[in-house]
Amino acid sequence: MAGDLLDNRGRGDVRWSWPPIHPEGRKFGAVAVLVSLVFLIGFDWEIIGWPLLLLSLGIFAFFRDPERVVPQDDRVILSPADGLVSLIAQVDPPEEMMVDDGTGHPGLTPGQVTRISIFMSVFDVHINRAPIAGTVRRVVYIPGEFFDAGLDKASEQNERQHLLIERTDGLKIGFTQIAGLIVRRIVPFVKPGDTVGVGQRIGLIRFGSRVDVYLPAGTDPKVLLGQKVVAGETVLAEIGSQQLLEGVAQ
């Protein structure tokens, strides 16, 4: 009836449901199940088959892709990743986000900004989401090492992928997907020129990793060290009027 409250799927009732599995993970889970069945049924090697079957369930859980209720507020920057806020530091943005890339779209302004690092364990959802709505200006992949993603040096030495999103008012947010100790693949869902909505899925990192978010200069974080955050739902920071004016000016 008119006036009824609806959930984020347009339903009048709210109930728990199994989260879907992202297509990227179905093939890995299916292969693990097949191999486990070969050992269980074909060779009757239960000591190998049962652990592999449990592993396949873990793989399906790793690639779960739950729906999120995304705040619709132009003043907020949302977390692009599920996980633990492991570092908050004042740093210069990566060079790849600042230099002229020849496209005619300026990058981030040089100077120190607040970087929020979000560590994703193998138990977290690994689908990454856009922290703001806008146009993807840069997707820069950089090969590197596979140190523990919780270390500060991972931001500069690990395999990583920089993304830069620009809103229609000129505000830019840069963030970096960083490979970890176990992960060996960063999978992008977007490319330069794509338009994304806030909270839209933009990529994933396989098997434990980290995401760094570079807040606009002068923006204070709304999260604390050790806090658990949820991609597409947790507010990392609020954009003040000064940052909005600076974004338009750039």
Quick one: which of 37, 61, 62 has its CA closest to 50?
Answer: 37
Scanning 16-65, the segments in alpha helix (DSSP H) are 23-37, 46-62
Residue in this structure with the two tokens 């994304």, named with its chain if needed: 196
Ramachandran bin of 202, using left for φ above 0, alpha for ψ from -120 to 50, beta for the remaining angles: alpha
Q: Are 163 and 212 in contact (CB under 8 A)?
A: no
Residues in the chain: 250
The single-letter DSSP state of residue 19 is P
* Whole-angstrom distance, CA of residue 157 vs CA of residue 235: 28
- Unique residue bearing structure tokens 């049962």: 50
The helix/strand count (H/E) of the chain reads as 5, 13
Judge contact between 101 and 168, C-beta under 8 A.
Answer: no
Let me know: does 164 contact 97? Beta carbons within 8 Å.
Answer: yes
Is 36 a known active-site residue? no
CA 192 to CA 207: how far, in whole Å? 25
Which one of the listed residues 17, 155, 209, 241 is annotated catalytic?
Answer: 209
| Burial letters 57-90, b for 16+ CB under 10 A, else e | eebbebbbbeebebeeeeebbbbbbbbbbbbeee
Residue numbers annotated as active site: 209
